Amino acid sequence: MTTIEHWISGAATPAGSVRTAPVYNPATGEEQARVLLAESSDVDGAVAAAAKAFEAWGDSSLSQRTRVMFAFRELLVRHEDELARIISAEHGKVVDDARGEIVRGREVVEYACGIADALKCGFSDQVSRDVDVHDFRQPLGVVAGITPFNFPIMVPLWMHPIAIATGNTFILKPSERDPSASRLVAELYAEAGLPDGVFNVVNGDKTAVDAILDHPDIAAVSFVGSTPIAKYVHERATAAGKRVQALGGAKNHAVVLPDADLEFAANHLTAAAFGSAGQRCMAISVGVAVGHAADGLVKVLARKATEVKVGPGDDATSDMGPVVTQAAKDRVVNAVTSGADQGATVLVDGRALKVEGHENGFFVGPSLLDHVTTEMDAYREEIFGPVLAVVRVDTLDEAIALINTNPYGNGTAIFTGSGEAARRFQREVKVGMIGVNVPIPVPMSYYSFGGWKDSLIGDSPIHGPAGVQFYTRAKVVTTRWPRTANPAAALHFPTSN
Ligand code: NAD
């Protein structure tokens, strides 16, 4: 059986690790590899390698860094198929969906290819006689990223291309459930000409995370994962004096108004609820049917949910693969059962689904719950599986109030033909990313990604301009080159003249 090692200073290494965790093939339920779990001394080794590499990389030219990013981007294109298959085999998502996350992640590399422009700062000429002011930004040093299982390549790509292009060195602690994509990414960076030690991968669990959070030589931590861990990471790492960006969980609502094209809305809700088996932080898990939209909408949704073809991720005819682990499957099944017990109507029930030839896989079919209320656990919990809960309300006001009362605020969408309703909606919802007739409004890489409320702890969104800010700090320089002998300096506080 393969053992997945760390990648430190440009080479695969077990470091001092002996503990391991299983990596499953979710489509068969079989253990297909073991991943090493780092001890804190292994994190020390990675930090030392990254700190050494920073001495040169932090001083490298913009041209050198951009050249590496362009080469890395080309390698991601060339290895797209291989990467997509690695992701599908460990995560379970269908290969085409894995390609989608590679493309969206690659867009961040494309943004990083233009880092010279993103790093341009300001210059103010003649702020006072013979005096100019300019600012510039410098890298932080060694920075780290801790990432979730659901986007094993895209979420790390939200972080490391920008961190590296701005001159930092990086330590990635990927999810222990699907670590192999990160290993290939490390090899591609090396092939692209990135010096050893600039990008490192440390596999592990809480022990590795805690070592990162406490390490005095790590300047910043980027985290994406569930809200309780995001809060923990934010608290512990900021207490250790680090910059932290910490993105948490979600419960995303899609509002369907009576004037919407119901077939169109149901199509998009189906894709957004059941794509990747609902394991997306921007998945739609709540459909909010307004007024007389409800009966028609649930009818189309029920038909479409039953049409979703569930099967292994490497079968090109599958629309949806398994969930990531047996525990995830149990959580989904229990959520549907609790919804039924608490009074929801189960219109489509995916609990008992079996996939022929894959009886031990972690498969669960799409479920559609109607008449869900805010008191039910199926509404309150982040299920993170293929379950769409429909809540019925009478007005747009009620829909907005529902969304604003929910503790999460990652993404939301409205389906309508009314510009007035859409405009009101986008101005009044307390949510960071909003779609108008777009169910999964993930911002392009040249914007920044981040929710509100419990979906983002602290105040730093990720990638785009916010990413550049996060991974750099500014200096403001005031310069005087006197043309003639100036009068003696006065002791009063300097003002312009
Ligand atoms: P998770 O919080 O369990 O794990 C995320 C990372 O934290 C992993 O690397 C894991 O090893 C580490 N970790 C887990 N438990 C820990 C602990 N007790 N102490 C220290 N570290 C720990 O999340 P997951 O199950 O891998 O991913 C799914 C979650 O991520 C969902 O809640 C989803 O909404 C969220 N997510 C959010 C976004 C976003 O952009 N807001 C994006 C993707 C996923």
Structure tokens belonging to residue 50:
């990254």
41 plus 107 within the same structural domain: yes
pLDDT in tens, 358-374: 999 999 999 999 999 99
Q: Give the closest residue to 212 by CA, choosing from 44, 21, 58.
A: 44
- Domain span at residue 463 reads 2-248+455-477
Do 303 and 372 lie in a common domain?
yes
260 and 206 housed in the same domain: no
Whether residue 447 is contained in a domain is answered as no
Q: How close is the Cα of 148 to the center of ligand 1, in Å?
A: 4
Let me know if residue 145 belongs to a domain. Answer: yes
Pick the atom of ligand 1 nearest to 227's CA. Answer: 32
> Is residue 355 assigned to a domain?
yes
| Average pLDDT of the segment spanning 103-130 | 97
Does residue 321 share a domain with residue 242? no
Residue at 340 is within a domain: yes
154 & 297 share domain = no
Q: pLDDT at residue 11 above 90?
A: yes
User: Is 450 domain-assigned?
Assistant: no
Total domain count, the chain: 2
The pTM of this model reads 0.97
Whether the per-residue pLDDT at 205 is higher than 80: the answer is yes
Residues 131 and 273 in one domain: no
255, 278 Cβ separation under 8 angstroms: no
- Do 158 and 27 lie in one domain? The reply is yes
Q: Check which CATH number belongs to the domain holding 403 and give it.
A: 3.40.309.10
Claim to verify: residue 133 and residue 276 sit in the same structural domain: no
Query: Annotated catalytic, 121?
Result: no
Provide the pLDDT confidence category of residue 487 given band limits of 50, 70 and 90: low
For residues 267 and 242, state if they share a domain: no
Q: List, for residues 304-357, the tens digit of each pLDDT value.
A: 999 999 999 999 999 999 999 999 999 999 999 999 999 999 999 999 999 999
208 and 303 belong to one structural domain: no
Measured from the Cβ of residue 470, the count of other Cβ atoms closer than 10 Å reads 24
Q: Which candidate in 33, 89, 102, 281 is catalytic?
A: 281
Strand 199-201 relative to strand 169-173, pairing: parallel
CB contact at 8 A, 48 and 16: no
Of 135, 119, 145, 146, nearest in space to 60 by CA:
119
Q: What is the pLDDT of residues 242-294, one digit of tens each?
A: 999 999 999 999 999 999 999 999 999 999 999 999 999 999 999 999 999 99
**Which residue, of 380, 404, 436, is where some domain finishes?**
436
- Whether residues 20 and 130 fall in one domain: yes
Residues enclosing ligand 1, CB less than 6 A?
146-151, 155, 173, 175-176, 205-206, 209, 224-226, 229, 247-250, 281, 382, 384, 410, 451, 455
Residue 486 lies in a domain: no
484 inside domain:
no
Question: Which of 60-69, 142-151, 168-177, 487-496 bottoms out in mean pLDDT, i.e. has the lowest?
Answer: 487-496
The answer to whether 271 and 439 are in contact (CB under 8 A) is yes
Mean pLDDT over residues 124-135, rounded?
Answer: 97
Judge whether residue 493 has pLDDT over 90: no
379-412 pLDDT, tens digit each = 999 999 999 999 999 999 999 999 999 999 999 9
444 within domain boundaries:
no
Atom of ligand 1 nearest to the CA of 213: 20
Question: What distance in angstroms lies between residue 226's CA and the mean position of ligand 1's atoms?
Answer: 4
Do residues 228 and 202 share a domain?
A: yes
Residue 86: give its domain's CATH number.
Answer: 3.40.605.10
